[in-house]
C-alpha cells in the first residue's frame, strides 16, 4: 500500500495512515459481515516518520471506537511478522489441500479425514483472489519464511528417514511446549469477545485470561486433612539443568509444573534439548552432554525466575555460543552483579545493565573458563550454584566459600549425577565447596520431594487457625531448608516430623502440625538463610503471636521478587498490625494473647492488600485470613502460579475459604 501510494502521488501523503486490522475469517462478502468483528482484535498501524500525528490519532480513535486494540509497527517489520503468522500458514493450507486433492485416492482422504485435517485445512477455504494478491505483494518476506520452514521440514524428513527418533521427538516436544506456552495469548485473541463483559468469575474451576487475578480470602478454618504440596522449586530447576547436561536419559517424578520451573524447561528446549512432559509431574530428559547445548535462535526469556537466570548465567558462561537472558518486570530489577562478577573472574564475557540488572548478555569466552576460589560476600545458594555450574566448564578446581550454610541441592544432585564434589569446613558455619572442571554427568532418576517453601504456608495456617490438624506428606526436610520449622518451633508451634526417609539423596518426612498459641521471639540470625523464602508467612505467624518478634540480618528480603520487608509491612499495617520495618528486618508487635489460647479472636482486620506481584506475599495474606475479622482482598495474585499453581485447590480442601476472581480493567 505504501509503495503504490508513493508511485501514485510521488510521495506518501502525510494524511494517509497505513494499517491492518488482524480480524476476519475464511468467509468474505456482505453475508459474512459481523458487527463485532473488531472487538478485542488487534489493529496494526504502520505509520511512516512523515505521517501526520493528528491523522494518526483520528484513525486510532476510529478503530478503538469499534472495540479494537491498536498497536503500531514499522511497515517492514509488519510484513515479516505477518508473513510468518498469517501468510505462511495460509500458503501451507492451500498447498496441502491441493496436493491431497491431486492424489488418486483423494475421495477416501477427504471422506475419512479427521479433526487434524479439518483444523489444518480450514483456511484453505479462504478467498483465493485476496490470498493470491497477498502472496504476490509480500513475496520477499513470504519467501524468506518459507525457506526457513522448508529447511525445518527437510531436517524432519531426514530424521524420520534415518530413524533419528530423538531428533523427531525433539521437534514435536518443542513445538508442543511452544504452542502451550503461547496458547494463552492465542486464546485471548480468539475468545476475547465472549470474555470481555465478564466482571468476576468464580475460580477454583478455571478463570478467563484477561486482567489480573485477585483473591477474596474470607475468614475460614479450622483446617483438617492430609495433602502433598507440589514439588520443590529449587530441585525442579536443577533436575532439568543437570538432566540436560548429562549423558543418557533422566526420568524425573514429582516435578513442579509451576511457571518458574517451566521457564527453565523452555530455555533448555530452546537450546535443543529434547524433553518429554511434563505430564503429572513426570519428565523424560534426553541429556545432550556437557557440550551438547545449541545456540537458541533468540534471547532466553526466564519470566519471574531469579533462580533460572542466576544458575543459567553460570552454566552458559562456558558454552561455545553466546546467549542473552531476559525476564519480566520484577526479574528485570533484580541484582545479577552477584553472579556476573565472580563469573567475570573466571574469564566469562558477561554483561548486565549498568545497575547490575538484566538482561544478562553472555558472549562465548572461546576457551575454557579458569577455576577460581571465591568467597561469597552474601550467603546465597544461587550464587554458589552458578559458580559451581560454571566450574564444570573450567580448567582446574573451582572453590566457593559460603559465609553461612545455604541450600545444598546443587551439590547433592551433582553427586547423584556422578560428579565429585568436595566440602571443607573452614570455621563455625563457614564451608568451602569445590569441584574439578570437565567431569561427565551420568543420567539418573530424580524423585522431587514436596516443597517445604510451599508447605510453610500450611505450617503457619494450621498453627494459627484454632482446632486444626494437618498432615503434609513427603516434604523435603533438607537441613539447609528447615529454618521455618526451627523458627516456628521456637515460637511454640507443634510440628512433628514422622516417617523420615531419604529419597534420591534428599531427606524427606511427613509433617504433622496442630494449632498452638505462639509467642514472639528474636529470630536467630543463623536461621535466616535457612528460611529465606518463608519469612513472609513467618511474619503472619509473628502477628498472631503474643509479644514482639524481631528479625535482623535479612536485608536479602529487599531484593526478592518484591521488597518483601516493605510489602509485608505495608500489608500488615493496613490490616491493623503494629510493625516497624528496618533496613535488614522487621519488628512485629504480635496481637495474640495467651488468655485467648484456642479462641478465634481476630488478629487482622479485613481490607485490601497489595501482593506487589509476589507469589509468596499473596499466599501469606491468604493465610492471614484464617484469623481475620473480615474478607482480605489480595491484589495481583497471578504469580502464585510461578511456585504453587494448585494453592487455591489445596487450601480450600483443607478448610480455607478463598475465592478467586479476575480484576478486569475498564476501558
Choice between 214 and 431, CB closer to ligand S3P: 431
Q: Which long-range contacts (CB under 8 A, 24 or more apart) does 564-570 make?
A: 564/535, 564/536, 564/614, 564/616, 564/617, 567/536, 567/610, 567/611, 567/612, 567/614, 567/617, 568/535, 568/536, 568/539, 568/617, 568/620, 570/609, 570/610
CB 644 within 8 A of CB 615: yes
Choice between 409 and 662, CB closer to ligand S3P: 409
CB 217 within 8 A of CB 656: yes
Choice between 530 and 660, CB closer to ligand S3P: 530
User: In the bound complex, which residue of the shown chain has the CB atom lying closest to ligand S3P?
Assistant: 234
Length of the chain in residues, anyone? 667
Give me 107's grid cell: 475421495
> DSSP H helical segments within 285-377, as ranges?
306-317, 337-345
Choice between 60 and 260, CB closer to ligand S3P: 260
Choice between 56 and 414, CB closer to ligand S3P: 414
Smallest gap, in angstroms, from Cβ of residue 382 to ligand S3P? 4
- The distance of Cα 15 from the centroid of its chain, to the nearest Å, equals 44
Give me 382's grid cell: 544461587
CB 454 within 8 A of CB 536: no
> DSSP H helical segments within 531-624, as ranges?
535-543, 564-574, 615-624
Choice between 234 and 611, CB closer to ligand S3P: 234
Which residue among 260, 447, 451, 533 is the active-site one?
A: 533
Per-position DSSP letters for 192-240, written without gaps between them: HHHHTT------SS---SSSEEEEEEE-----EEEE-PPBPHHHHHHHH
Smallest gap, in angstroms, from Cβ of residue 171 to ligand S3P? 31
**Is there a cis peptide before residue 175, judged by omega within 30 degrees of 0?**
no
**Is there a cis peptide before residue 494, judged by omega within 30 degrees of 0?**
no
Q: Give the interface with ligand S3P as residue ranges (CB under 6 A).
A: 234, 307, 380-382, 385, 406-407, 532-533, 556
Smallest gap, in angstroms, from Cβ of residue 456 to ligand S3P? 12
Smallest gap, in angstroms, from Cβ of residue 155 to ligand S3P? 36
Smallest gap, in angstroms, from Cβ of residue 412 to ligand S3P? 12
State how beta strands 369-370 and 394-395 pair. Answer: parallel
Smallest gap, in angstroms, from Cβ of residue 327 to ligand S3P? 14
Provide the 3-class DSSP secondary structure of residue 11: coil
Smallest gap, in angstroms, from Cβ of residue 537 to ligand S3P? 14
Choice between 406 and 468, CB closer to ligand S3P: 406
State how beta strands 421-427 and 430-436 pair. Answer: antiparallel
Smallest gap, in angstroms, from Cβ of residue 505 to ligand S3P? 16
Q: Please calculate the CA angle 514-519-521 and round it to the nearest 5 degrees.
A: 120
3-state secondary structure 19-63: EEECCCCCCCCHHHCCCCCCCCCEEEECCCCCCCHHHHHHHHHHH
Kindly report the number of other CB atoms within 10 A of residue 602's CB atom. Answer: 16
Is residue 533 part of the annotated active site? The answer reads yes
Cα dihedral 354, 360, 363, 367, rounded to 10, equals 100
CB 325 within 8 A of CB 362: yes
Smallest gap, in angstroms, from Cβ of residue 365 to ligand S3P? 24
CA atoms of 580 and 565, how far apart (whole Å):
10
Query: What strand order describes the sheet that includes 282-286?
Result: 274-279, 282-286, 249-253, 446-447
Choice between 307 and 454, CB closer to ligand S3P: 307
Choice between 214 and 304, CB closer to ligand S3P: 304
Smallest gap, in angstroms, from Cβ of residue 109 to ligand S3P? 52
Question: Residue 144: in which H helix or E strand, if any?
Answer: helix 139-161
Choice between 419 and 603, CB closer to ligand S3P: 419
Give me 625's grid cell: 485470613
Catalytic residue numbers, as ranges: 533
Amino acid at each position: 500500500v505504501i509503495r503504490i501510494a508513493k508511485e501514485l502521488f510521488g510521495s506518501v501523503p502525510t494524511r494517509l495512515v497505513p494499517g491492518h486490522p488482524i480480524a476476519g475469517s475464511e468467509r468474505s462478502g456482505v453475508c459474512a459481515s459481523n458487527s463485532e468483528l473488531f472487538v478485542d482484535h488487534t489493529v496494526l498501524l504502520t505509520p511512516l516518520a512523515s505521517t501526520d500525528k493528528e491523522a494518526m490519532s483520528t484513525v486510532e480513535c476510529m478503530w478503538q471506537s469499534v472495540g479494537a486494540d491498536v498497536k503500531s509497527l514499522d511497515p517492514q517489520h509488519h510484513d515479516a511478522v505477518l508473513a510468518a503468522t498469517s501468510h505462511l500458514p495460509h500458503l501451507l493450507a492451500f498447498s496441502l489441500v491441493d496436493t491431497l486433492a491431486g492424489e488418486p485416492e483423494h475421495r477416501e482422504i477427504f471422506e475419512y479425514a479427521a479433526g487434524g485435517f479439518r483444523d489444518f485445512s480450514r483456511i484453505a477455504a479462504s478467498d483465493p483472489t485476496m490470498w493470491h494478491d497477498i502472496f504476490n505483494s509480500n513475496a520477499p518476506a513470504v519467501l524468506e519464511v518459507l525457506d526457513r520452514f522448508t529447511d525445518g521440514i527437510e531436517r524432519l524428513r531426514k530424521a524420520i528417514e534415518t530413524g533419528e527418533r530423538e531428533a523427531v521427538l525433539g521437534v514435536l516436544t518443542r513445538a508442543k511446549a511452544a504452542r502451550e506456552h503461547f496458547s494463552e495469548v492465542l486464546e485471548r485473541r480468539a475468545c476475547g469477545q465472549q470474555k470481555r463483559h465478564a466482571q468476576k468469575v468464580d475460580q477454583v474451576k478455571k478463570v478467563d485470561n484477561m486482567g489480573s487475578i485477585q483473591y477474596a480470602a474470607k475468614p475460614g478454618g479450622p483446617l483438617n486433612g492430609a495433602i502433598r504440596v507440589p514439588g520443590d522449586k529449587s530441585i525442579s530447576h536443577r533436575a532439568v539443568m543437570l538432566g540436560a547436561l548429562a549423558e543418557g536419559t533422566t526420568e524425573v517424578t514429582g516435578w513442579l509444573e509451576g511457571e518458574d520451573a517451566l521457564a527453565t524447561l523452555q530455555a533448555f528446549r530452546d537450546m535443543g534439548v529434547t524433553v518429554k512432559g511434563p505430564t503429572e509431574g513426570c519428565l523424560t530428559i534426553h541429556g545432550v552432554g556437557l557440550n551438547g547445548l545449541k545456540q537458541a535462535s533468540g534471547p532466553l526469556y526466564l519470566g519471574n525466575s531469579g533462580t533460572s537466570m542466576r544458575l543459567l548465567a553460570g552454566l552458559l558462561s562456558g558454552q561455545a555460543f553466546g546467549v542473552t537472558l531476559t525476564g519480566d518486570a520484577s526479574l528485570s530489577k533484580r541484582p545479577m552483579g552477584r553472579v556476573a562478577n565472580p563469573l567475570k573472574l573466571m574469564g566469562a564475557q558477561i554483561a548486565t545493565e549498568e545497575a547490575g540488572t538484566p538482561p544478562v548478555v553472555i558472549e562465548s569466552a572461546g576457551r575454557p573458563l579458569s577455576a577460581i576460589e571465591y568467597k561469597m560476600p552474601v550467603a546465597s545458594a544461587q550464587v554458589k550454584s552458578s559458580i559451581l555450574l560454571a566450574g564444570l566448564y573450567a580448567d582446574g578446581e573451582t572453590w566457593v566459600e559460603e559465609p553461612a550454610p545455604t541450600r545444598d541441592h546443587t551439590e547433592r544432585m551433582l553427586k547423584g549425577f556422578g560428579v565429585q564434589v568436595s566440602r571443607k569446613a573452614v570455621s563455625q558455619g563457614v564451608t568451602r565447596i569445590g569441584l574439578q572442571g570437565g567431569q561427565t554427568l551420568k543420567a539418573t532418576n530424580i524423585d522431587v520431594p514436596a516443597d517445604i517453601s510451599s508447605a510453610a504456608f500450611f505450617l503457619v495456617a494450621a498453627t494459627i487457625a484454632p482446632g486444626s490438624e494437618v498432615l503434609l506428606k513427603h516434604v523435603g526436610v533438607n537441613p539447609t531448608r528447615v529454618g521455618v520449622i526451627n523458627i516456628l518451633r521456637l515460637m511454640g508451634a507443634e510440628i512433628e516430623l514422622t516417617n523420615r526417609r531419604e529419597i534420591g539423596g534428599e531427606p524427606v518426612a511427613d509433617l504433622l502440625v496442630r494449632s498452638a498459641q505462639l509467642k514472639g521471639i528474636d529470630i536467630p540470625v543463623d536461621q535466616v538463610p535457612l528460611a529465606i523464602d518463608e519469612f513472609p508467612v513467618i511474619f503472619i505467624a509473628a502477628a498472631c503471636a503474643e509479644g514482639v518478634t524481631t528479625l535482623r540480618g535479612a536485608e536479602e528480603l529487599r531484593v526478592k521478587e518484591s521488597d518483601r520487608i516493605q510489602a509485608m509491612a505495608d500489608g500488615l499495617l493496613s490490616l491493623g498490625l503494629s510493625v516497624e520495618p528496618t533496613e535488614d528486618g522487621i519488628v512485629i508487635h504480635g496481637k495474640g494473647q495467651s488468655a485467648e489460647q484456642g479462641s478465634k479472636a481476630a488478629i487482622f482486620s479485613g481490607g485490601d492488600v497489595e501482593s506487589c506481584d509476589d507469589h509468596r506475599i499473596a499466599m501469606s495474606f491468604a493465610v492471614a485470613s484464617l484469623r481475620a475479622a473480615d474478607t482480605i482482598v489480595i491484589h495481583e495474585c497471578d504469580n502464585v502460579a510461578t511456585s504453587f499453581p494448585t494453592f487455591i485447590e489445596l487450601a480450600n480442601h483443607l478448610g480455607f475459604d478463598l475465592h478467586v476472581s479476575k480484576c478486569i480493567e475498564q476501558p
